[in-house]
Amino acid sequence: MLPQARQWLRDARVVAVLTGAGMSAESGVPTFRGPEGLWKQFRPEELATPEAFARDPLLVWEWYDWRRRTIAAVTPHAGHLALAALEKVKEDFALITQNVDGLHDAAGSRNVLKVHGDIWRLRCTRCRREWTCRDAPLASLPPRCDCGGLARPGVVWFGESLPRDVWAKAEEAAERCEVLLVAGTSAVVYPAAGLVPLAKRAGARVIEINREQTPVSAVCDASLRGPAGEVLPALIAEV
């Protein structure tokens, strides 16, 4: 199956990639799902909401500061680097990620569509200004904008809509691609998981890279089992 998948990828001019938490977990980033996602006995669903932020912004920011410090201590793995290398040899390439950690950027990927936002971006709740801050830990909690307004993480919380412009580009990439790689995603979080059937309906070959079967495995043209850090470099070799 690997040689056939590699041939599809080699022949494709337009390639899109969808990555999820499994990619980041291989670098040591805790996932939302599972006991490693807990922080001080709080579930992410209790903290990553507008309501939680309105109720206790300091608590929410303590959690995000912990997450930022955790992410700052890890590095991209071979799978991240392989995708960055693939982008350089494909004339039309888009990397759609559900991850907010910036590891794709650190690996050298350029056309990254962050449908769930970026943990390194801050947004003022008063003037709406956005800026990048890579301090880990943050100098003060909760952080504030130059205007004095309270800043929030530049991520999409439970109950919020995805950024409209980024999502439109992600849908366009899924519809236009000849091959869609789906790496390290559980394929249970919508609307991102809906990009797989969208690409299939548009005629793309879908290649899944995951340690285990997922809800979209049955519709994929190839399902390659194993860690993304091992399978992606093997798949992209000689492309």
What CATH number does the domain containing 56 carry? 3.30.1600.10
User: Beta partners for 16?
Assistant: 94, 180
What CATH number does the domain containing 194 carry? 3.40.50.1220
How are strands ordered across the β-sheet holding 151-155? 130-132, 117-124, 151-155
Reply yes or no on whether 116 is catalytic. Answer: yes
C-alpha to C-alpha distance for 165 and 180, rounded to whole angstroms: 20
Residues 183, 94 share a domain? yes
Nearest 5°: the CA angle 19, 52, 46 is 60
Burial class (CB in 10 A: 0-12, 13-18, 19+), 13: exposed
Taking the alpha carbons at both ends of the chain, their separation in whole angstroms is: 16
Residues 149, 134 share a domain? yes
DSSP H helices in the chain: 2-11, 21-25, 44-47, 50-55, 57-72, 78-89, 103-107, 164-176, 195-201, 228-236
Residues 194, 96 share a domain? yes
Residues 204, 134 share a domain? no
Tens-place pLDDT, residues 163-207? 999 999 999 999 999 999 999 998 877 898 899 999 999 999 999
Count, residues in the chain: 239
Q: What is the residue range of 196's domain? A: 2-28+76-116+161-236
Q: What mean pLDDT comes out for the span 203-232?
A: 95
Residues 213, 150 share a domain? no
Tens-place pLDDT, residues 8-63? 999 999 999 999 999 999 999 987 655 555 566 678 888 999 999 999 999 999 99
Residues 204, 90 share a domain? yes
Residues 201, 171 share a domain? yes
Residues 22, 56 share a domain? no
Catalytic residue of the set 77, 80, 104, 116: 116
pTM: 0.94
Residues 42, 24 share a domain? no
- As for how many domains the chain has, the answer is 2
Tokens of 143: 């952080």
Residues 219, 187 share a domain? yes
pLDDT for position 202: 96
